[in-house]
Amino acid sequence: MTETASIRQAIEQAIGEHDVILFMKGTPDAPRCGFSARSAGALEALGAPFAAVDILPDPRIRQELSALSNWPTVPQLFIKGELVGGCDIITEMFESGELAEALGVEAPADDVAPQEPGVDGAPLSVENRLQG
């Protein structure tokens, strides 16, 4: 198996093993871009457990993820194996209550906004097995 195929298989496996998984730049505790911070913050504000994969250690992860999802940007949120979208979609869904509904959790009070991640309980961590 080629390294590219191995990375794609690891991505597919991670998506299949976790009901909610966020591919992002950095980690929820230490996001490396504002879009990733906002996306992780929305999930944390809802109290939904989620797995996260840092795509930065190996550029092939991002390349294979985008090829697999047909979505060019990161972060990318998957719920039950389906691509939800990136930061703008996650934020819109958070604000409308659709994200809470998709995750099967209660929507927060109207005055709650996504917070910087890492403040309260940390989400699940996924070992980054996507490196060659």
- Break the chain into its structural domains and give their ranges: 3-103
* Structural tokens at position 16: 């299949």
The superfamily (CATH) of domain 3-103 is Glutaredoxin (3.40.30.10)
Q: Is the pLDDT of residue 45 over 80?
A: yes
**pTM exceeding 0.75:** yes
φ and ψ at 69, to 5 degrees? -90, -15
Q: Does the pLDDT of residue 29 top 70, yes or no? A: yes
* pLDDT tens, position by position, 77-120: 999 999 999 999 999 999 999 999 999 998 876 655 555 444 44
The answer, yes or no, to whether residue 129 has pLDDT greater than 50, is no
Cα separation, 48 vs 104, whole angstroms: 9
Rounded distance, CA 36 to CA 116, Å?
10
